[in-house]
Copies of this chain bind each other. A is one copy, B any other.
């Protein structure tokens, strides 16, 4: 596809201008984007109304309509988010890890932009602004590929960014947007390793798998969250109930919500009936293995595929386990390596869980819902990486940079 190729080349060309842009210039740019969103608010909201109407007409489910919809309040949050990114420290140029070698060489590392970033995301149009802001602040040019449903909204948003880029004296190609709903555009984008330094896909398992299998550009995947809470035999059961209910119910549509509950057999009889009643009151459908069903008569049996599923809904599958070891094996086998929690009163058991559960975020005695750049104190986040390489868990500005070695000498040569 010519259009994708020319836009990939455009972000590649623009890369150099951002690589050495000062913090002041990048912040002025982000402030100009915020000002542009304020003055273009009516046009953006009108474009969004057309997207929403088209999605409704096409029979999109309510959860997608909700994600797609902008209003003055959500636009205000996007503008406020730009202000937050302005206030974050600029990672580019930061030096660390300085050592002096016996031969007098000073070796240190320095954060530099990754270069040109490709972002593939779904319906939410706020990602267009949030992701572009984080990429620009960290000195990266960005090629955006949003959801087909939000095409009209995204066009307006990118027009605002491009106007701000020109006003800041930066190439308009610093931010490009793939302006077609065609899936082939994604497949073309992920082959442009001659132009892009990294692809960040945010989406379901099928999209991530398609990209992993076909991308020649390095990928930082933001995949699903099939998150677990394990209630140990030593748990404070009232704390456990609070954590389970919060992790499941507080916002079930997000990736750090719990989808599975594992309970130690010694406390299952006391714990499950009480927590089940609270979960049902909150509208949660329960599914269980044979032992859970013996304690919670009438709940639906969990099918084999339930253990690997991300529901993003008010559903919770429950399994009774014989030990912390069995819980850890279950999580490592069926989980998505996102966020998993233990509730326990024994420090040694918590420590074992921490060491052996192979997930981006491992919790002791807290809700999985905290996996988030703001909650972890990183400032804004571009998403939550579910892979092990480069970035794991909430991914902030630092993870949008690379660290090069800087070596300073006074004529050292190797003998």
Bound Cα distance A375, B16 (Å): 30
Q: Which residue of B has the minimal Cβ distance to A95?
A: B354
Apart from A354-B406, A366-B411: 19 A-B pairs, beta carbons within 8 A: A19-B356, A101-B376, A105-B370, A115-B358, A115-B388, A198-B388, A198-B389, A242-B413, A360-B404, A360-B405, A362-B404, A362-B407, A363-B408, A363-B409, A365-B411, A366-B407, A366-B408, A367-B413, A376-B405
Within 8 A of B (CB), among A379-415: 387-390, 392-394, 402-415
Q: Which positions in A face B, CB cutoff 8 Å?
A: 16, 19-20, 93, 99, 101, 105, 107, 110, 112, 114-115, 193, 197-198, 212-213, 216, 218-220, 236, 239, 242-243, 245-247, 250, 332, 350, 354-356, 358-367, 369-371, 375-377, 387-390, 392-394, 402-415
B contact residues around A212 at 8 Å (CB): 193, 216
B contact residues around A245 at 8 Å (CB): 413
Q: Which of B359, B366, B390, B404 contacts A413 (CB 8 A)?
A: B366
B contact residues around A370 at 8 Å (CB): 105, 407, 412, 414
**Interchain nearest-CB distance for A150 vs B (Å):** 27
**Interchain nearest-CB distance for A163 vs B (Å):** 28
Interface centre among A19, A212, A358, A392 (most CB of B within 10 A): A358
* Given A387-B218, A404-B360, residue A369 in contact with residue B411 (CB < 8 A): no
Q: Please tell me if the beta carbons of B213 and A409 are within 8 angstroms of each other in the complex.
A: no
**Interchain nearest-CB distance for A407 vs B (Å):** 5
Q: Please tell me if the beta carbons of A114 and B388 are within 8 angstroms of each other in the complex.
A: yes
Q: Which of B243, B388, B408, B413 contacts A364 (CB 8 A)?
A: B408
- In the complex, the count of this chain's copies comes to 2
Q: Please tell me if the beta carbons of A19 and B105 are within 8 angstroms of each other in the complex.
A: no
Bound Cα distance A356, B332 (Å): 43
Bound Cα distance A212, B220 (Å): 15
